[in-house]
Amino acid sequence: MSDAPTTTTDDVLEGVDLSGRTALVTGATTGIGKETARALAAAGASVVVTARSDDKGEAAVLELAAAVPDADLSYEVLELASLDSVRAMADRFATAHDRLDLLVANAGIMAVPFGHTDDGFELHLGTNHLGHFVLVGRLLPLLVQSAPARIVLLSSGGHAASDIRWDDPNFERTAYTKMEAYGQSKTANVLHAVELERRYGALGVHAYAVHPGMVSTDLGRHFTREDYEELKERAKAAPSGGLPPRVGVDVGAATSVWAAVATELDERGGTYLADCALAEARPYAVDPEAARRLWVLSEELVGESFPEPTAT
């Protein structure tokens, strides 16, 4: 087991000026998302955070403004488990803003009991991938218009728990397990970055998938003792030989911020990152053909197409 990483968001952003840039960070009322928003705002970006309610959004903006007094901060209500909410929020954002330089798809759920989104998708897949798939898809024109721009998708080392379940992504015919469901959604995040890069990299919009590490947040609030034991057993069987050490949100969010701003990543779009460095995902999570296949499957599931841009 390796030593805990120590690079923080402030370390990454030292000397970086994001004045004039607009950033959208989903799920930024707590944890890594909130720290990502704070760090980007402290570097001068105009930051829009998303929250699941007005109360949470207002509270997050007040707390962020207290941490970064001169920041340009606002919020949008977004429920990723409802495509109606996703579409409405994306349309509001595109109408209200003339640019989007950084989109950090941070919001997510982990190890929740079996359930469905408003549109009938398994909760992890629907929330962690399909909701963001539609949000990103609808905001791509604004990102292209603002290029160079970046999309950062929060994945996890937990993607090792499952490939895409191509024949039964919503666990309609097979037994549900929390870690496989979470793992599938996190694999989807990596594949989404791969295909976004293939489609939009040449237009100056680069995408990255990020593993934040084991971070002390409320993401694991649904974990039971049995879930944690299963996680430890899976980790023992992995090449790392065990769970990584826990880190604080300032370290956990550092790779998201690095993915958003690091100039050394300009030519490395579509990659999987961890500990502020290039990292190795499972082969199935970075397979270009699987990435194309997932895009098509996602379009079929959400009933909306995002055509490949035509060469100019």
CB 244 within 8 A of CB 1: yes
Q: Token digits for 172?
A: 């309609």
CA gap 130, 119 in Å, rounded:
10
CA gap 209, 295 in Å, rounded:
16
Residue 76, beta-bridge partner list: 50
Q: Token digits for 63?
A: 């707390």
- Which residue in 202, 185, 280 sits closest to 239, CA to CA? 280
Burial of 301 (0-12, 13-18, 19+ CB in 10 A): buried
Angle at the Cα of 138 from the Cα atoms of 136 and 144, rounded to 5 degrees: 75
3-state SS assignment for residue 214: strand
User: Looking at 75, 176, 182, 284, which residue is catalytic?
Assistant: 182
Question: Residue 90 carries which side chain, given as an amino acid letter?
Answer: A
| Backbone phi and psi for residue 102, each to the nearest 5 degrees, phi listed first | -135, 125
Burial of 263 (0-12, 13-18, 19+ CB in 10 A): exposed
75 in active site: no
What letter would DSSP give residue 157? G
Mind telling me the catalytic residues?
182
